[in-house]
Amino acid sequence: MCCNSAVIIPRPDPCFSFLPTRPDIIPFPASVSFRIRTVFHHGPSKSIPNDTVQFSGSDPATLYDLLGIPKTGTLLEIKQAYKQLARKYHPDVSPLDRVEEYTKMFIRVQEAYETLSDPRRRALYDRDMAKGIHLAFSARRFFEFDEQMEDKSEWKSRWQSQLSHLKKRSMYKDSGDNMSWGAKMRRQRNESS
Partner 1 sequence: MAAPGLAIRVNYPTLQYLTAQKFNYGGRKLFFVKASAGSTEAEEANIIVRKEKYGWQPDFSGGMRPTPILDTINYPVHMKNLSVKELEKLAAELRAEIVHTVSKTGGHLSSSLGVVELTVALHQVFSAPEDKIIWDVGHQAYGHKILTGRRSKMHTIRKTSGLAGFPKREESVYDAFGAGHSSTSISAGLGMAVARDLLGKDNSVVSVIGDGAMTAGQAYEALNNAGFLDTNLIVVLNDNRQVSLPTATLDGPATPVGALSRALSKLQASPKFRQLREAAKGITKQIGPQAHEVAAKFDEYARGMISSSGSTFFEELGLYYIGPVDGHNIDDLVTIFQKVKTMPAPGPVLIHIITEKGKGYPPAEAAADRMHGVVKFDPKTGKQMKAKTPTLMYTQYFAESLIKEAEADNRIVAIHAAMGGGTGLNYFQKRFPERCFDVGIAEQHAVTFAAGLATEGLKPFCAIYSSFLQRGYDQVVHDVDLQKLPVRFAMDRAGLVGADGPTHCGAFDVAYMACLPNMIVMAPSDEAELMHMVATAAAIDDRPSCFRFPRGNGVGAVLPPDYKGTPLEIGKGRILREGNRVAILGFGSVVQQCLGAAEMLKSHNILPTIADARFCKPLDADLIRRLAKEHEILITVEEGSIGGFGSHISHFLTLHGILDGPLKLRSMVLPDRYIDQGAPQDQIEEAGLSSRHICATVLSLLGTPKEVVNFV
Q: Which residues bind partner 1 (CB under 8 A)?
A: 4-5, 7-11, 13, 15-16, 19, 23, 29-34, 36-38, 40, 46, 147, 151-152, 154-159, 161-163, 165-174, 178, 180-183, 185-186, 189, 192
The least distance separating partner 1 from the CB of residue 178, rounded to whole angstroms, comes to 8
Other Cβ atoms within 10 Å of 86 Cβ, number: 15
Contact, 187 vs 174, CB < 8 A?
A: yes
User: Residue 131 or residue 169: which is nearer to partner 1 going by CB?
Assistant: 169
User: Residue 18 or residue 113: which is nearer to partner 1 going by CB?
Assistant: 18
The least distance separating partner 1 from the CB of residue 58, rounded to whole angstroms, comes to 26
Question: Cα separation of 154 and 160, whole Å?
Answer: 10
User: Residue 22 or residue 79: which is nearer to partner 1 going by CB?
Assistant: 22
The least distance separating partner 1 from the CB of residue 32, rounded to whole angstroms, comes to 6
* Selection from 94, 63, 67 nearest residue 80 by Cα: 67
User: Residue 13 or residue 100: which is nearer to partner 1 going by CB?
Assistant: 13
Q: In whole angstroms, how far apart are CA 177 and each of 166, 172, 173, 187?
A: 18, 10, 9, 11
Q: What is the Cα Rg of the chain in Å?
A: 24
